[in-house]
């Protein structure tokens, strides 16, 4: 595979990949146009934070299979565009944890004791002890917004200074936070109680401008804020005004909404704001770690398909569990089948999973069903990563539903497709770990193997219908491999499923559809 490495990544990355047979090209400081002109030549792109991998670049990446980020943040990569194209985005979330945490702790100390400002005046020959009165950390409350790996490391270190640690993280269980000696509170309570606030969350729609005039108004008048996470989480104009007005004692910033910052950045002129140029992860140790880590993750992915650090491929990670393989095959088959029994453009697809075992794998089962559906309904390269995005592009809403148990089957998968007027459902189960069976079609219970050429139709529940269909198959020298029959409780309507050894053409299907008592006949073609 051909790999393009940008952004002056430590040589250890290329060395590991080269030893494993990858063809490496290293080109730092590429312009956007330069990157667009060569990106189609490569299978893998590895970047740090400087290269912006935008949607128009991804559109040009005809052969791209994976984008690797040597670091934790991936906001410089258009993950949605990559996902839509089936490209794995992979980062190294733990490689620079210690470096980033230590920098944040350093910024907390610097903010508390005005170290950079006092240093600057000393260099100018100014000795002014009274001007730079600081505050102790002991007994103060530190709020950690985003209690991930870096946030936890900051908490551990600042607890050693005697700080009370509170935090906000909607994904962290209370009992786990308790073990870390972090009190989880609402976001507003964090803002109200904190003497120091350190940000360690990712940048997304919910965190953009999280700290702004409205939230600053909730804070103590002498609050100090540290951001070593992502620019854009803090509204820099509102922060600057708060410092000018004396609402905020000081701030320490390593990341900014626009990098490099421009000369009009409102924080630049403020003496009470400490600024560093996005260097929290810039230690020798961290850069060696993330460079080697991303290379090792890529090698492992290519060898065993194991996805370590994949940010947009959780479905693929789940799919690697041996115990779910047969259910994924079943889900794909169900998706293929339901796509072939609906004549008009579908509007809504629902995947139902029943049973505690399948609940764990519901995300990847949905991806598998969508892949099967799209393999029939959509021309293009469909995989577990891009299936949902592709379905949405086609105007199909996708829904996952879970029920604790089904009275007839311990673990059941049902795929339901509707277009507003018509609704079709096909469900299946796995027996003896590997035996895949369809067990229901709409309201009918019936059992058959989902493979080969399958004729499926509804019919009036009366004598002679099956015989007349059989005669058509006989005239066309089509051998019947299996027949499954079912009827509804009223005994007025029935379902017939016939597996045949050879292809049925549309003329034969039309003849069958015109048999007295037959309606809604479909041919389903599946691989064995």
Catalytic residue check, 522: no
Catalytic residue check, 475: no
Intrachain domains 2-92+286-312 and 97-275 with the same fold? yes
Convert the pLDDT of each residue in 227-254 to its tens digit. 999 999 999 999 999 999 999 999 999 9
Q: With bands split at pLDDT 50, 70 and 90, how would you rate the model's confidence at 528? A: low
Mean per-residue pLDDT of the chain: 91
Convert the pLDDT of each residue in 480-502 to its tens digit. 999 999 988 777 899 999 999 98
Convert the pLDDT of each residue in 135-172 to its tens digit. 999 999 999 999 988 999 999 999 999 999 999 988 78
Spans of all domains in the chain? 2-92+286-312, 97-275, 313-429, 443-528
Note whether 426 and 438 are within 8 A (CB): yes
Residues sharing a CB contact under 8 Å with residue 510, sequence separation 6 or more, in sequence order? none
Convert the pLDDT of each residue in 371-408 to its tens digit. 999 888 775 678 887 788 778 877 888 999 988 777 77
What order of strands is seen across the sheet that includes strand 44-47?
A: 23-26, 2-5, 44-47, 66-69, 88-91
Long-range contacts (CB closer than 8 Å, 24 or more residues apart) made by 266-270: 266/236, 266/237, 266/240, 266/241, 267/236, 267/239, 267/240, 267/243, 270/240, 270/243, 270/244
pLDDT score at 488 = 83
The residue with tokens 């890529």 is 298
> Positive or negative, the Cα torsion across 33, 36, 39, 44?
positive
Question: Could you tell me which CATH class the domain 443-528 is placed in?
Answer: alpha beta
DSSP state of 118: H
Which CATH number applies to 97-275: 2.60.40.10, 3.40.309.10, 3.40.50.2020, 3.40.50.720? 3.40.50.720
Convert the pLDDT of each residue in 162-203 to its tens digit. 999 999 988 787 888 999 999 999 999 999 999 999 999 988
Catalytic residue check, 259: yes
Convert the pLDDT of each residue in 437-468 to its tens digit. 999 999 999 999 999 999 999 999 999 999 99
Task: Find the catalytic residue in 278, 414, 424, 522.
Answer: 278
Burial class (CB in 10 A: 0-12, 13-18, 19+), 294: buried
Task: Give the C-alpha distances (Å, rounded to integers) separating 297 from 81, 235, 367.
Answer: 22, 35, 23
CATH 3.40.50.720 fits domain 2-92+286-312? yes
What is the C-alpha separation between 105 and 37, in angstroms, rounded? 42
Q: What is the 3-state secondary structure (H, E, C) of 353-390?
A: EECHHHHHCHHHHHHHHHHHHHHHHCCCCCCCCCHHHH
Q: Which of 16, 4, 75 is nearest to 46 (CA)?
A: 4
CATH 3.30.1330.90 fits domain 313-429? yes
Task: Find the catalytic residue in 80, 258, 259, 285.
Answer: 259
């Amino acid at each position: 595979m051909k790999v393009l490495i940008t952004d002056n990544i430590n040589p250890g990355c290329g060395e590991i990949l080269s030893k494993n047979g990858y063809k490496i090209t290293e080109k730092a400081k590429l312009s956007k146009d330069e990157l667009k002109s060569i990106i189609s030549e490569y299978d893998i792109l590895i970047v740090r934070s400087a290269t912006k991998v935008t949607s128009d670049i991804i559109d040009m990446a005809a052969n791209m299979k994976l984008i690797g980020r040597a670091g934790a943040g991936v906001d410089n990569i258009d993950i949605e565009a990559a996902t839509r194209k089936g490209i794995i985005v992979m980062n190294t979330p733990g490689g620079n944890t210690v470096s980033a945490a230590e920098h944040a702790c350093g910024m907390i100390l610097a903010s508390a004791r005005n170290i950079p400002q006092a240093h600057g005046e000393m260099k100018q020959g100014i000795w002014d002890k009274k001007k730079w009165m600081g505050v102790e950390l002991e007994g103060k409350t530190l709020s950690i917004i985003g209690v991930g790996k870096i946030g936890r490391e900051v908490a551990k270190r600042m607890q050693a200074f005697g700080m009370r640690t509170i935090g906000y993280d909607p994904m962290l269980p209370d009992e786990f936070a308790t073990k870390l000696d972090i009190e989880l509170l609402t976001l507003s309570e964090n803002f109200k109680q904190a003497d120091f606030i350190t940000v360690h969350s990712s940048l997304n729609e919910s965190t953009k401008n999280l700290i702004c005039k409205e939230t600053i108004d909730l804070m103590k008048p002498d609050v100090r804020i540290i951001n070593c996470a992502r620019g854009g989480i803090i509204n820099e104009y509102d922060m600057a005004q708060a410092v000018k007005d004396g609402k905020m004692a000081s701030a320490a910033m390593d990341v900014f909404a626009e990098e490099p910052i421009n000369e009009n950045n409102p924080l630049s002129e403020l003496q009470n704001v400490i600024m560093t140029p996005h260097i929290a992860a810039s230690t020798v140790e961290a850069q060696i770690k993330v460079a080697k880590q991303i290379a090792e993750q890529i090698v492992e992915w290519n060898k065993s398909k194991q996805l370590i650090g994949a940010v947009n491929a959780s479905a693929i990670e789940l799919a690697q569990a041996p115990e779910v393989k047969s259910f994924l095959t079943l889900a794909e088959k169900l998706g293929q089948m339901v796509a072939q029994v609906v004549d008009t453009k579908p509007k809504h697809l629902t995947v139902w999973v029943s049973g505690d075992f399948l609940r764990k794998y519901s995300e990847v089962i949905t991806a598998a069903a969508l892949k099967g559906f799209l393999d029939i309904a959509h021309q293009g390269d469909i995989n577990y990563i891009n299936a949902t995005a592709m379905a949405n592009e086609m105007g199909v809403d996708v829904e996952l539903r879970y029920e604790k148990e089904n009275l007839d089957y311990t673990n059941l998968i049902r795929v339901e497709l509707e277009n507003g007027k018509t609704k079709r459902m096909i469900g299946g189960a796995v027996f003896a770990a590997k035996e895949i069976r369809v067990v229901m079609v709409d309201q009918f219970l019936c059992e058959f193997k989902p493979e080969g050429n399958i004729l499926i139709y509804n019919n009036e529940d009366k004598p002679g219908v099956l015989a007349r269909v059989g005669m058509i198959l006989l005239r066309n020298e089509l051998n019947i491999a299996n027949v499954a029959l079912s009827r509804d409780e009223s005994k007025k309507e029935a379902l017939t499923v016939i597996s045949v050894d050879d292809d049925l053409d549309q003329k034969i299907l039309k003849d069958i559809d015109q048999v007295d008592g037959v309606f809604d006949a479909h041919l389903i073609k599946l691989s064995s």
